[in-house]
Amino acid sequence: MYRYIGNKAKLLPFIMDKTRELIGCTGVVADIMAGTGSVSLEFRRQGYSVIASDIMTYSYHHLVVNLLLNESPAFAGLRHIPFNNTTPYEAVIDYLNALEAKKGFFFNEFAPDGKPESSCDPRKYFTSENAAKIDCIREQINSWIDLNQITNTEASLLKHTLIMAVNRVANISGTYGYFLSDFKKNALESIILTPIQFDETENVNHTVFQGFAEDLAENITADLCYIDPPYMKRQYAANYHILETIAKGDFPDAIGKSGLRDWWDQHSKFCTKTRGIDSFESVISKMNCDKFIISYSEDGLFSLQQLMECFAKYGSVDVQHIDYNRFRSNNSPLPKKLKEYIITIQK
């Protein structure tokens, strides 16, 4: 499973039950802070038409794959790769896995044998071998995009596949906020792209956006909106900066010991005590939608009472309490169990 702060894979049955209770088994559902896309995918599987978005570029690629594909795309611009006895996607993955490693941006900025541009000590997010493999795969995908040899959807699929492989060999404890000083077992494995299984449910009328929920809300019309905001001060853009760099395919300045890219344009107000409530209000008041489900955590920035007071301005509010295993970095001293709230608003 994708280790992502706030991934709701384990809460899916509760979210789907609530959705059915509120709008029945069909309709348009918005998932406007969709992260890994696990909830969007389940909405699709349950037969809803999904509008999904997030501020992060990696999330955009996950959503394209989870919502817009149900089989291998044609990869018609890559006819020079032999598609013998495999799907075009599998052939392209084999081709990328066989590329010769290249000492590029990831090697220099994120591996022990590299030389960071800022002349700080080498970082250890990946072994040098894996970082050089990531470089050659990234640059090949960039070149296919620049030469118009792959479509946007095909590029999203390849980046999604690379991100999933990178997650398996990253030398981190939970997030990419920092790397571990010694390589752990999974980080020593060789990186290898593994083809994903496509969801075969009919993919009708799904839409994927990238942007701030507060800005997108006024252009969304839905029967129900699921809001799964960050509940801590930790910004996703800082904690998943390496995935964002893979998703964007760029070569940003890697700043400080941890090599963060500049992420201020993806700063979330939901992670702040001063502006989070205004952001909730902005989304709920602007969207053309009467029913909302909001996930929130007991140890979030806002108390249940603060949220209920805010939401009660817009309609009748109800809350369900669920015992949940907390997302923890390895060796975290925080208690393992906490309560997750599923709050509903009906305008």
Ligand X SMILES: C[S@@+](CC[C@H](N)C(=O)[O-])C[C@H]1O[C@@H](n2cnc3c(N)ncnc32)[C@H](O)[C@@H]1O
What is the contact surface with ligand X in residues (CB under 6 A)?
Answer: 4, 6-8, 32-36, 38-39, 54-56, 59, 212-214, 228-230, 236, 268, 270
The smaller minimum CB distance to ligand X, of residues 69 and 213, is found at 213
φ, ψ for residue 67, nearest 5 deg:
-110, -30
Cβ-contact 267, 235 below 8 angstroms:
yes
143 CB-near residues (< 8 Å, 6+ apart): none
* Residue closer to ligand X, measured from CB, 114 or 230: 230
CA–CA separation, 256 and 239 (whole Å)? 14
Residue nearest to ligand X (CB): 6
Task: Find the shortest distance in angstroms from Cβ 266 to ligand X.
Answer: 7
CB-CB contact of 193 with 137 (8 Å)? yes
Q: Of 103 and 275, which CB lies nearer to ligand X in the complex structure? A: 275
At a CB cut-off of 8 Å and minimum separation 6, what does 79 contact? Answer: none
- Is the CB of 73 or the CB of 276 nearer to ligand X? 276
Q: Which is nearer to ligand X, 65 or 92 (CB)?
A: 65
Smallest gap from residue 225 Cβ to ligand X (A): 12
Tokens of 314: 């817009």
Q: Give the SS3 label for residue 246.
A: helix
Strands 316-325 and 291-297: unpaired
Compute the least distance from the CB of residue 271 to ligand X, in Å: 7
For 114, phi then psi, to 5°, come to -85, 170
Q: Contact 57/80 with Cβ under 8 angstroms?
A: no
Q: How far is the CB of 262 from ligand X (least distance, A)?
A: 16
Q: Are strands 49-54 and 28-31 parallel, antiparallel or unpaired?
A: parallel
102: its two tokens: 């290249």
- Comparing CB distances to ligand X, the nearer of 36 and 72 is 36
Interatomic CA distance for residues 78 and 149, integer angstroms:
6
Report the nearest approach of ligand X to the CB of residue 15 (Å). 9
Report the alpha-carbon distance of residue 324 to residue 228 in Å, rounded: 15
Q: How far is the CB of 36 from ligand X (least distance, A)?
A: 3
Min dist. Cβ of residue 346 to ligand X (A): 21
| Shorter beta-carbon distance to ligand X: residue 129 or 199 | 199
Instruction: Measure the CA–CA gap between 165 and 142, rounded to whole angstroms.
Output: 18
Q: 288 has which bridge partners?
A: 221
Those residues with Cβ within 8 angstroms of residue 309's Cβ, 6 or more apart along the chain or in another chain: none
**Smallest separation, CB 57 to ligand X (Å):** 10
Considering beta carbons, is residue 33 or 225 the nearer one to ligand X? 33
Q: How far is the CB of 312 from ligand X (least distance, A)?
A: 22
Distance CA 206, CA 153 (A): 14
Using the minimum distance from each CB to ligand X, give the nearer residue, 36 or 344.
36
